[in-house]
């Protein structure tokens, strides 16, 4: 028996890189994985490619720039499965063209990074946790942060600050909902050879 049999997971931005690796790992451990993505047809092809190996993965619409899609994504998974056991908040973005040192960083870009990188974790977790609490089910939330959230840099101040906030909200969630058997952890990768980094 696999460790995650009968578990339902959501992984945001799961078509490539760290997100896809997370989705595949969860599916290989027996979870049914919903991949929160914008490109449904392309993601369905990925799911179909792995279906022959017994992995159960399904696309569900998620667009970080469209706040309404957060709730729609969670509600669609609940309508299909009746529960969510695992949430991987993998979505994150940067803007190296405008995100530099304090003086030279575009102010609008700075706050937009906070809105997207912290806001997505806040909003999706806020939607999912009530379902994890329901019927004393518990669950696990994993936030994909970055080493940039702990180590200052000569550039990319907005990205670093946003990931530092992700680290803190992870601790807040873990503290506040441990009594409901909900775990919340952050993973802090360094430079990773994903398509976006390349």
List residues with catalytic annotation: 159
Under a CB-based contact definition with an 8 Å cutoff, are residues 86 and 26 in contact?
A: yes
Helix ranges, the chain (H)? 17-28, 40-51, 68-81, 107-133, 157-177
Q: If we measure between CA atoms, which residue out of 59, 88, 74, 85 comes closest to residue 7?
A: 85
User: Using CA atoms, how far apart are residues 60 and 51, in angstroms rounded to an integer?
Assistant: 16
Helix (H, G, I), strand (E, B) or coil at 188: coil
Under a CB-based contact definition with an 8 Å cutoff, are residues 56 and 5 in contact?
A: no
Q: If we measure between CA atoms, which residue out of 83, 80, 82, 28 comes closest to residue 59?
A: 80
- What lies within 8 Å, CB to CB, of 70 at 6+ separation is 62, 120, 123, 124, 127
Q: If we measure between CA atoms, which residue out of 159, 170, 183, 141 comes closest to residue 12?
A: 141
For 17, the token pair is 């890189």
List the end-to-end C-alpha distance of the chain, in Å, as a whole number: 38
């Amino acid at each position: 028996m696999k460790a995650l049999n009968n578990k339902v997971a959501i992984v945001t931005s799961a078509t490539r890189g760290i997100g896809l690796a997370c989705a595949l790992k969860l599916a290989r451990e027996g979870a049914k994985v919903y991949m929160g993505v914008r490109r449904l047809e392309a993601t369905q092809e990925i799911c179909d490619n792995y279906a022959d190996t017994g992995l159960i993965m399904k696309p569900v619409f998620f667009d970080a720039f469209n706040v309404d899609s957060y709730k729609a994504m969670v509600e669609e998974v609940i309508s299909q499965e009746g529960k969510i056991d695992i949430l991987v908040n993998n979505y994150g973005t940067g803007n190296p063209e405008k995100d530099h040192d304090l003086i030279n960083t575009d102010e609008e870009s700075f706050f937009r990074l906070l809105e997207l990188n912290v806001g997505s974790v806040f909003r999706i977790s806020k939607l999912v946790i009530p379902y994890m609490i329901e019927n004393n089910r518990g669950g696990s939330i994993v936030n994909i942060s970055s080493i940039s959230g702990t180590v200052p840099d000569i550039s990319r101040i907005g990205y670093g600050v946003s990931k530092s906030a992700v680290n803190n909200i992870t601790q807040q969630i873990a503290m506040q909902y441990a009594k409901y058997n909900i775990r919340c952890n952050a993973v802090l990768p360094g430079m990773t050879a994903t398509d976006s980094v390349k």
